[in-house]
Amino acid sequence: MRVLVVHCHPDPESFVTAARDRLLDGLARTDHEVRLRDLHADGFDPRFDADDHRRHLEPGVAPELQPYVDDLQWCDAIVLVYPTWWSGQPAMLKGWIDRVWVRGVAWELPEGGNRLRPLLRNVRRLVVVTTHGSSKLVNALEGEGGKRTATRSLRLMCHPRCRTHWWAFYGLDTVPAERRTAFLDRIEARAAAL
């Protein structure tokens, strides 16, 4: 399997980055081919500007985004690794979605149609590794917007039988160190079994 890992956290010492590293350790024990995109290390520009807006209804992306498009069209599985902030993806990751998952890449709208046709049929697995400062209950009450974006919106642009996995760690701000370590161990084991 060809696995694209998209990491989004500004702090290289963060728990999310530790989760990314353990995920990569688990994937290294498989025969999978892995590409890592670290949006902060890349200096990815998340701004959906006027040029992006003009291109929105026409297929294609700005030339500087082509490597990200190539990654999406190459992979069989996508793993998004990020912290949940304000009930969703960080702005940089949301900008990556806005600017890269565009017409002609992730979807098309047939002439006269009113329903998007997915184009990322190569993607058969979508995995999210994320953290939440608050509890599962608080997140459920808030509606888990980030989870809906991944499992309801992004997934629909993938293969019809795309399997989704939500590997979330809740209560990061208050749990003891041993629970954090156990989560990292689970991430590595799950990645090795992917």
Print pLDDT tens along the chain (194 aa): 999 999 999 999 999 999 999 999 999 999 999 999 999 999 999 998 888 888 777 777 889 999 999 999 999 999 999 999 998 999 999 999 999 999 999 999 888 888 899 999 999 999 999 998 888 888 788 878 889 999 999 999 999 999 999 999 999 988 899 999 999 999 999 999 98
CA 165 to CA 127: how far, in whole Å? 5
Q: Which amino acid does the sequence have at 105?
A: V
Q: Please tell me whether the overall predicted TM-score, pTM, comes out greater than 0.85 for this model.
A: yes
Q: Are 33 and 2 in contact (CB under 8 A)?
A: yes
CA 59 to CA 57: how far, in whole Å? 7
> How is residue 171 annotated by DSSP?
-
List the one residue out of 129, 122, 154, 123 whose CA is nearest residue 26. Answer: 129
Q: Which amino acid does the sequence have at 99?
A: R
Residue ranges and CATH numbers for the domains of the chain are: 2-193 (3.40.50.360)
Residue 138's pLDDT is 84
90 token code pair: 């960080």
Q: Are 72 and 100 in contact (CB under 8 A)?
A: yes
107 class by beta-carbon count within 10 Å (0-12 exposed, 13-18 middle, 19+ buried): middle
List the one residue out of 87, 71, 16, 183 whose CA is nearest residue 8. Answer: 16
Q: Are 131 and 169 in contact (CB under 8 A)?
A: yes
